[in-house]
Amino acid sequence: MIGDLITGYGFWNPLIWIIVMATGLLFAWLIWRCGESGYDKGTEQTKPYLSGNDEPPKSDVHIRGGNMYWGFTHALKGYYDKLIPLHSGVVNDYLTWFVIGVIVIFVVVMVI
């Protein structure tokens, strides 16, 4: 069939995928249409409701990039504590890794 990408085990056809997704979206749209439209722009309704408190300034609401995946890096602290210092920024270390790589690969290739 046109668009079949044979991957060894099966195939991937983006056209079928798009047709399926489009059908799904069509159903979603049909269901959405059945809903009741009670949304009015520019009224009290659209304002965020935070238990009656005032809305904080916009710059405080946004979650900054540095705060994301804090948990992930914290959970892998042992790994990151070892990994990050390796990227020391000293160009001598970079070349040391090159020499180590040459020696290790050479030994591996010669021994095996």
Residues in contact with other proteins by the rule CB under 8 A: 2-10, 12, 14-15, 17-18, 57-59, 61-66, 68-69, 72-73, 76, 79-80, 83-84, 87-102, 105-106, 108-110, 112
Minimum Å gap between C-beta 96 and other proteins is: 5
Minimum Å gap between C-beta 22 and other proteins is: 11
Kindly write down the DSSP assignment for every residue of 46-94, as one continuous string.
Answer: GS--BTTBPPPPHHHHSPPGGGTTHHHHHHTHHHHHHHHHH----HHHH
Minimum Å gap between C-beta 40 and other proteins is: 21
Query: Cα 4 from chain centroid?
Result: 28
Nearer to other proteins, 43 or 59 (CB): 59
Nearer to other proteins, 30 or 108 (CB): 108
d(CA 90, CA 96) in angstroms, rounded, equals 10
d(CA 60, CA 64) in angstroms, rounded, equals 9
Nearer to other proteins, 34 or 111 (CB): 111
